[in-house]
Amino acid sequence: MQYNPSRRTFLKSTGIVAAGAAGAAAFGLSGCSASATAKEAASDETYPEGFSAKDYADSSVVFEPIDDIAEEKTYDIVVVGAGTSGLPAVLTALEEGASVACLQKEPTAIAQGGGDGGICLEESTEAGVLIWLQAWRESCNYRVNMDLARFFAYHSGETSMWMAKQSKAAGYPPADSWSLHFDFADGQYVTQTKNAFGVKPENNGNLVRALADYAASLGADMYYSTPGVQLVQDGERVTGVIGKAKDGSFIRFNAEKAVILATGDYQNNGSMIAKFAPDLARFTCKQTNKTGDGILMSAAAGGYMTPVGHSKQMHDMDAGPYMMIDIPFLAVNENGERFMNEEVPMHYWDEALRFQDAEDPGKFCRIFDNNYVETATSWGFKPTDRDSLLKYVPGAVENPTGVIKDLIDTHRCDTLDELADELGIPADNLKKSVERYNELCAQGADTDFGKQQQYLAPIIEPPFWGIHQWIRLTAMCCGIAVNGTYQVVDRENDPIPGLYAVGFGAGDLCGDGDWSLYMGNMSCGSCMTSGRYAVIHALTGDLVPSHPATWEETKNAEGYRKDEWLAARDA
């Protein structure tokens, strides 16, 4: 058996794929030191097409073949990654009667986000789902992998309802579960199911930790502080993965059915970011240790990266409340100067910010006065009220709930000088920017940046408010190429047997430059769905769970909120 046949084409051409590890050793391909120095020293020509030594050096993956295996274990399914995709994969394997191990790089399960979302087929019309798919394409400027979009559309609702049951069984039930109804033309419609797993800072992170404990109680073997570092192949088929234990020894985890790579994206791999998303290289990342391990292991097994540019999520819903993010208040940079037309939604802010001449271009301030509630309401928004906004002002509210205290960065001051000091920007420049902005409001035309007249309101009524935004990279939403069932494919788009990649380390569900917010909680929902159904496909060759969640039990569950349209129809 051959470990990490990363030079797949070379091995084929030399005829040693079937020769196994001994044949590989004869060609000098095994027994090399697995260190960053060795990886960097090797010629990039020896690495998979499109990747380099530096990509691997910036990850946990060991490129050179590993032959000093200290221990060997065998399971039906081996999942690499204990997060938003990985735990649904583990629990599904158990539910389907398979033995399963989960390797996790971190000492605990980790996830981001605060819920999930999916399409409930039982409460959607057939044409309505297709109309929804077309609307998703449009929201992504039509740069969508429709195989993956259909995968989500037809399996995400069941996953969402199943996740509500799993979270309850794990002792961490949703704080809220509900449905939303969307009407389309000609009587067609779609119903979305949603869960909110706690509120900030208790969210999907706590959820996956509860699910991990629950999975272990059901018989899953959880290996923490044990990253997957290299795939094992027998010919074309992936037959396992090598994990690196805490003590530095290597354990081979054989997978009778499949390896499921759920390792997350590549935002913390500087080399890969510079290559695949160079416009993001100066922005700070929200996550840590997301170094593209699953992508790099898949590439070494013959996979390839989805075409650039890669979709990403850039967020800051922590400095101030979510309800304030898209209101077009005056925006000034770290030098206190206005720099853009503020009619830009939050998930596109980085497109303007990336042109800033700053070490971290993701920082800027939004300024408004104490009339903001009335002003924003007249613009058609639903702003956070003044008392609730105080929770985001450091020190203003004792023990504020629903916020992350280390990240809140909203300020209220009697004067612009004081506000500038709180925000850490030059007071003279801020006052000049506000003065100029008020002049534009008075003349009724933004002759500096062209903001619509309806969004021009002067900043005159104290106290003055400012939110110091910090836009950072939340997720890269493209990864290794997969087919419509999340099997990793080679450059001929043939599936690599025994290998699946799920979550944001896989595919290009949203191929547009910026992840669309067309459907709330779709990002987490797609990760959960791909993890669950990849395992079902690996075990059965189909996409039919043995114990599906149903709308009938969901709608009657305690605390479930049906959309008003559905409730009125059923009354």
Q: What is the pLDDT of residues 451-485, one digit of tens each?
A: 999 999 999 999 999 999 999 999 999 999 999 99
CA angle at 68 for the pair 67 and 72, rounded to the nearest 5°: 95
pLDDT of residue 201: 61
Which residue carries 């980790």 as its tokens? 110
Q: Are residues 361 and 456 in the same domain?
A: yes
Q: How many CB atoms lie within 10 A of CB 434?
A: 23
- Considering the domain architecture, whether residues 268 and 376 belong to the same structural domain is answered as no
Do the Cβ atoms of 160 and 121 come closer than 8 Å? no
CATH number of the domain bearing residue 136: 3.50.50.60
Distance of alpha carbon 252 from alpha carbon 232, whole angstroms:
8
Amino acid at 566: L
Single residue among 420, 453, 470 that ends a domain in this structure: 470
Residues 453 and 352 occupy one common structural domain: yes
What pLDDT is attached to residue 203? 82
Residues 242 and 374 in one domain: no
The answer to whether the CB of 167 falls within 8 A of the CB of 207 is: yes
Structure tokens at 434: 């506000």
Q: Which residues partner with 192 through β-bridges?
A: 119, 180
pLDDT for the residue numbered 12 = 33
- Residue 240 in contact with residue 4, Cβ under 8 Å? no
Counting every residue written for the chain, the total comes to 571
Q: At what angle do helices 416-423 and 427-443 cross, to 10 degrees?
A: 120
Same domain, 182 and 88: yes
What is the residue range of 457's domain? 317-470
pLDDT number for residue 45: 76
Residue 415 lies in a domain: yes
| Residue 234 β-bridge partners | 237
pLDDT given at position 565: 87
Beta bridge partners of 254: 74, 240
Residue 265 belongs to a domain: yes
Residues 6+ apart with CB under 8 A from 352: 339, 340, 344
Number of domains in the chain: 2
Looking at residue 570, its pLDDT comes to 85
- Asked whether residue 402 falls in the same domain as residue 486, the answer is no
Tell me whether residue 40 is in a domain: no
pLDDT reported for residue 49? 94
- Same domain (yes/no): 356, 340: yes
**298 and 208, same structural domain?**
yes
Residue ranges in the chain whose pLDDT is less than 70: 1-44, 200-202
Q: Does a structural domain hold residue 120?
A: yes
Asked if residue 337 belongs to a domain, the reply is: yes
- What local confidence, expressed as pLDDT, does residue 568 receive? 85
Within a domain: 5: no
Domain-terminating residue out of 470, 500, 522: 470
- Quote the CA–CA distance of 239 and 297 in Å, as a whole number: 13
Shared domain for 169 and 270, answered yes or no, is yes
